[in-house]
Structure 1
C-alpha cells in the first residue's frame, strides 16, 4: 500500500507509532520521499520527538511515506509510492504526511507523527478520516526534523480517537496537561469561509450536538493569509531545498514548484510578514470573544486520484488550513461523518496560542457527542 518506506520495530511494548520520513530515527536514512536524497546516510541520532516516544516505552513500527520533500498536498509520490486512502481508495490520501494518516486510518499504528507546514497534518487527517493536530508553533520540538529551519512547520500527531491523540501530546510535548471537557453552552464561532454547503451544514449540526453556542464571523484577511503563507513557505523551501533542482532527480510537480518558489522576491516576503502580523492579531482578537474558532478542514471532498493525476488544481486543499501555519495558532482536525456510515470529513478547531489543551478538550467533547448519537441513528435506520 506504500504506506511505509521502511518497516521495523524499535522500542518497548506500548502503543505502535509510525513516523514520517522527514523525522530522524538513528540508524535509518531520512529520504523525505525523494530520489534526490536516496543516498542519504543513516541519521546519527533520534529526533527529540522520537526519543520521547521511545522513552515512553512505545514501539516505533516504521517510517511513513509522504509527498516528495513534504512539498505537496495530494500525497501522490511516483518514486516512493502513493499510500492508499483507507476510507476512500479512489481519492487522494492528502499530503504531505500521507503515509502517517493512512497508517492510522488502516489500523497499522495507534499513533503517527507527521509535520504540518501548510496543512500537512490536517489535510491528510481529513482525507483519511482520522484526527490530526498542528500544535502551536514552537511548542513541540523540531530538533532532528527536516528541513532544519522553518517559521511555519510543526510536528503533530495523528490518532483514530482523541484519547490517543491527547496521550501522544503528553509524550511529545513536555508540560502538556489535559483539560476537562468544556462546559455546556461553550461559546464558539464558525468562520465564514467558502466551502461546500453540505459539508458546512454537517459540521454545524455536529457542533450543535456537542451543545456549543455558535456564532459566525467573517475575517477579511483570511485569503490574504493563505497567499502570505504560500509566499513564506516558498521562500523557506527554496532556501532549504533549491539546491536539489536541475539534476533530474525530482518529480515534475515538485521541481516546478521549487523553481517557482525561487522567484519569490524580498518585497513579496516583506508583504507576507506584514500580513502574518495583522492576521495573527485578528485571530487573537476573535479568541478574546470565543473559546475556539471552527471551520471545515477541507472546503470540499478530497479530489479523486484520477483527477489529481490529470492536472486538476488542488490548491484549494490548503485554503482553510494554511492561514493558521502563518499565524502559529494550534489547529485540530476531528473526523465527522458526512453521511451515516459514509465518508468522514474534518472539522477544524482553532484555539489560542499555547492552549493546545483546550483545543483537544473541544475535540474530545465533539467526539463524545457524536459517539452518543450513533446508536440512535442505527436504530432509526
Structure 2
C-alpha cells in the first residue's frame, strides 16, 4: 500500500492492544534506512538508533506499525511520488493527499494506524491533515526534539503528530515532548478568546471557520495580520536555501524525479540578499502575530485557502504553491499551529481549521482544538 514505505510491528513495552503509530520516512527507526521516499537515498545505511521522538513513543508503550510514504525529500506540497507511489486521500481518492507528510495523513485517515508522526517545514503536517480530513499539529519551533530527523539542519522544521481525535493527538504529544503538560492540554477551554484572522479563501471555507467558532461559543473578534503574504514568500526563500544545501548534491545522480530536480535547481538561485530580506520579514511578521495574541488566547483561520486539487490537475502542471499561503507563515514565525477538520456547507469534503497560539502555549492550542472538536460533534 503506497501510504506505507514499509509495514512492521515494533514495540518494547507495548501491550497487545496498545495504540499504533506510523512514522514518516524522514525520521530514524533503528534497523531501517531513512530514505525520505527517494531513490537516491535507498542505499543509505540503516539507522543505528531511534530518533528521540521514536524512543519516547516506545517508552510510552506505543506500537509502531510502519514507516510512511512522503513527498520525495519532503520538498513538495502534492504528495505525488513517482518512485514510491502516491498515498490515497481518504476524503477523495481523485485528489492529492497533500505533502510532504502525505503517507502519515493517509494512514490515519484510512484507519491503518491510530496516529502518525510527520514533519512540518512549510505546512507539511497541517496541509496533508487538511487534505485528508484529520488533525495535524506543528508544535512551537524547537520544542520537540529533531534528533534523528532528515535533514539534520533546519531553522523551520518541526516534528508533529496526526490523529483522528484530539485525545489521541494529545497522547502522542505527551510521549514525544517530556515538557508537555497533559493536564493543561485537556483543560476546559470554553472561556478562551479567539481572533478570527481575515484571509482570502474559496467561498464557504471562511464561513465554515466562523461557524465553528460560533458553535464553540467562544468570545471572538476579527483580526488582521500584517505581512502574511510577505511571510509566505520569506518562508519559501528559507526552505529553498536550506533544502538546496541539504540535497542539492543529489541533482546530478539521475535518481530524482524530474519535478524535484526542477524545484531544486530553482532553489539553488536563492541569494544571501533573499535570506537577509526573509530575516527582516520574519521579525516583522513574528511581532505582528505576538501583538495579535497579546489579548487573545489563539488565532483561527483556514488551514488551506481551497480544497485540494485533483491528482490529474497536479500531474498536468497546475501550481499548488498557494496551498501553503496560510500555513507557511507560522513556520517562519515559529508559533504552534494545529489543523482540525471542519464541515463546509454544500461540500462532502471537510476543510481544515487552523489554530495558532503563543510560542510555548502548545497545550492551550490543543485544549482549544479539543473544545472545537467537541462542539462540531455535538
**Alignment partner of 2:318 out of 294, 297, 312:** 312
The correspondence of residues 119-198 of structure 1 with structure 2, limited to 5 A, is: 119-178=123-182, 179=184, 180-184=187-191, 186-198=192-204
Deviations 1:232-258 (A, max 9, x none): 001111111111112211111111111
Any gaps of 5 or more consecutive residues in structure 1?
373-381
Query: Would the alpha carbon gap of residues 264 and 292 (structure 1) be closer, same or farther in structure 2, given more than 3 Å must change?
Result: same
Q: Is 1:8 matched with 2:8?
A: yes
Segments ≥4 residues shifted beyond 2 Å: 339-342
TM-superposed CA distance for 1:164, in Å, is: 0.3
- Counterpart of 1:367 in structure 2 is 373
- Using the TM superposition, give the Cα deviation of residue 218 of structure 1 relative to its aligned residue in structure 2, in angstroms: 1.7
Report the TM-score, using the length of structure 1 for normalisation: 0.96
Partner of 2:236: 230
Give deviations 1:278-318, integer Å, cap 9, x for gaps: 11111111100211001000100100111011000101110
Partner of 2:46: 42
Name 2:58's counterpart in structure 1.
Answer: 54
**Cα shift at 1:365:** 0.2
Aligned length in residues? 371
Q: TM-score, normalised by structure 2?
A: 0.97
Q: Is the 8 A contact 2:205 2:344 kept in 1?
A: yes
Aligned to 2:291: 285
Deviations 1:133-174 (A, max 9, x none): 000000000000000010000000000000000111000011
Q: Does 1:294 align with 2:300?
A: yes
Unaligned runs of 5+ in 2: none
Q: Which residue of 1 aligns with 2:349?
A: 343
The partner residue of 1:110 within 114, 119, 130 is: 114
RMSD: 1.0
SS, match of residue 289 in structure 1: coil
State the match for 1:73 in structure 2. 77
Question: In structure 2, what is the Cα distance between the partners aligned to 1:190 and 1:135?
Answer: 20
**Does residue 277 of structure 2 align to residue 271 of structure 1?**
yes
The separation in 1 between residues aligned to 2:125 and 2:230, in whole angstroms, is 22
